[in-house]
């Protein structure tokens, strides 16, 4: 099983600032990596797939990068609606696995 | 508009069974892989199972193998999760999702396993 490790667990950021979230895979997942955003009481929302492709309707301030075992989600200028929990997921191998999540909170 | 609507959750005793359903609309259901993902209270996301568009291939997380069965009825645009021998640790909100890196999710249905 591929273990996905996200860091940090919590990120405190002021509105308008840049946020950088990391996701590491225990073995290569190529570019088969997705990022999700989840707000309290809501289902997750797909932000990024293929490590760097924004899903439909996702603002350009969200960007993904990386391949192999190291991945990054960057939010260029945090808006109030971006404070949430973010998860990465690999879909290169079975079982599919998620990271434990990074909570982005208001500083 | 893509919609996924889950149902079938509820309170069940340990060792019991439950069948979740997910009805899809707004897309050609029979051409998509479909998945179940769960989230225990206050915890992160856990992938549970995925089924190929024609039902020919099925994959499960180890913790549910032999207890849960994923299936689909393409004529009814429906996805199912039969859950048997339920355990306390199966308590979670269960989401159905389109594809194995889901781009659309249902609103979730809560399964509570407790005596």
Per DSSP bridges, beta strands B68-73 and B92-98 are: unpaired
Find out whether the peptide bond into A73 is cis, omega within 30 degrees of 0: no
pLDDT in tens, B34-93: 999 999 999 999 999 999 999 999 999 999 999 999 999 999 999 999 999 999 999 999
- Return the closest-CA partner of residue B45 out of A14, A44, A41, A60: A44
Distance in angstroms (rounded) separating the CA atoms of residues B1 and A93: 30
pLDDT in tens, A17-75: 999 999 999 999 999 999 999 999 999 999 999 999 999 999 999 999 999 999 999 99
Strands ordered across the beta sheet of A4-7: A4-7, A19-25, A70-75, A62-67
Q: Note which residues in 60-89 of chain A have CB less than 8 A from chain B.
A: 87, 89
Does residue B93 contact residue A43 with C-beta atoms inside 8 Å?
no
* Residue-level pLDDT at A27: 98
Q: Between A1, A56, A89, which is nearest B101 by CB?
A: A89
CB contact under 8 Å between A44 and B107, yes or no, is: no
**Measured between CA atoms, how close is A83 to chain B, in angstroms?**
16
Q: How confident is the model at residue A7 (pLDDT cuts 50, 70, 90)?
A: very high
Query: Is a pLDDT exceeding 90 seen at residue A81?
Result: yes
């Amino acid at each position: 099983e591929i273990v996905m490790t996200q860091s940090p667990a919590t990120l405190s950021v002021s509105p308008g600032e840049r946020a950088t979230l990391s996701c590491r895979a225990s073995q290569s997942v190529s570019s088969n990596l997705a990022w999700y955003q989840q707000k309290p009481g809501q289902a997750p929302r797909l932000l990024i797939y293929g490590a760097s492709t924004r899903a439909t309707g996702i603002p350009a301030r969200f960007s993904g990068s990386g391949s192999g075992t190291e991945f990054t989600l960057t939010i260029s200028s945090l808006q109030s609606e971006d404070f949430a929990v973010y998860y990465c997921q690999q879909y290169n191998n079975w079982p599919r696995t998620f990271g434990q999540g990074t909570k982005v909170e208001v500083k | 508009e893509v919609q996924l609507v889950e149902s079938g959750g509820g309170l069940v005793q340990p060792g019991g069974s439950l069948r979740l359903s997910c009805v899809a609309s707004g897309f050609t259901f029979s051409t998509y892989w479909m998945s179940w993902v769960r989230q225990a209270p206050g915890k992160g996301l856990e992938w549970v199972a995925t089924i190929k568009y024609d039902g020919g291939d099925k994959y499960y997380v180890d913790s549910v193998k032999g207890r849960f069965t994923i299936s689909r009825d393409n004529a009814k645009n429906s996805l199912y999760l039969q859950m048997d021998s339920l355990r306390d640790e199966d308590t979670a909100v269960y989401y159905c999702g389109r594809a194995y890196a889901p781009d659309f999710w249902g609103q979730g249905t809560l399964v509570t396993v407790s005596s």
